[in-house]
């Protein structure tokens, strides 16, 4: 397996093992400068008005753009420095998909954009994240294996 492909699979494994993901059971796919996240939205994700809470949109778009950016950094865990979210339509029950892709990379910053699609394939939210390399090495202990 090529080094890049091994890095992508390790990132997917790290994501799958993160405790924060247990209640959501998302599925992540990483490639060079891109990431796709698929998750089922359930009624237990709803707010009082009967649609998914905005935290679902934020989580999915932050995760998709984060891993698109992390795909380009192979030595340290990156950090979200800023994230802008635009909620366009309510999400209800069904399988939703977030797609992230890197727009720009400099020595210290990576900018990635994401789109979130509802179960019918309609654009439900957009987001743009700015990420920077941190100081924490990617290690097997954090699930990067």
Q: DSSP string spanning 97-137?
A: EEEEEEEEE-SS-EEEEEEEE-TTS-EEEEEEEEEEEEEEE
Residue 24, pLDDT score: 96
Class of the CATH domain delimited by 3-142: alpha beta
Q: What are phi and psi of 91, to 5 degrees?
A: -100, 135
pLDDT tens per residue, range 100-135: 999 999 999 999 999 999 999 999 999 999 999 999
Report the pLDDT averaged over residues 24-30. Answer: 97
* Average model confidence (pLDDT) across the chain: 97
User: Which residues neighbour 87 within 8 Å (Cβ) at sequence distance 6 or greater?
Assistant: 54, 57, 124, 125
- By C-alpha distance, which of 29, 93, 82, 81 is closest to 56? 93
d(CA 82, CA 106): 16
d(CA 59, CA 44): 15
d(CA 87, CA 125): 5
pTM for the full predicted model: 0.96
Residue 64, pLDDT score: 98
């Amino acid at each position: 397996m090529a080094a890049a492909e091994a890095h992508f699979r390790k990132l997917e494994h790290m994501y799958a093992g993160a405790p924060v993901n247990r209640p959501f059971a998302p599925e992540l796919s990483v490639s060079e400068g891109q990431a796709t996240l698929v998750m089922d939205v359930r009624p237990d994700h709803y707010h009082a008005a009967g649609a998914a809470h905005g935290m679902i949109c934020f989580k999915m778009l932050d995760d998709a753009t984060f891993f698109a950016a992390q795909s380009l950094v192979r030595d340290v865990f990156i950090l979200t420095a800023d994230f802008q979210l635009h909620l366009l339509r309510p999400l209800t029950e069904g399988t939703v998909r977030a797609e992230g892709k890197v727009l720009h990379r400099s020595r210290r910053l990576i900018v990635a954009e994401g789109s979130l699609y509802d179960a019918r394939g309609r654009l439900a939210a957009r987001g743009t994240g700015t990420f920077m390399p941190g100081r924490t090495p990617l290690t097997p202990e954090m699930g990067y294996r």
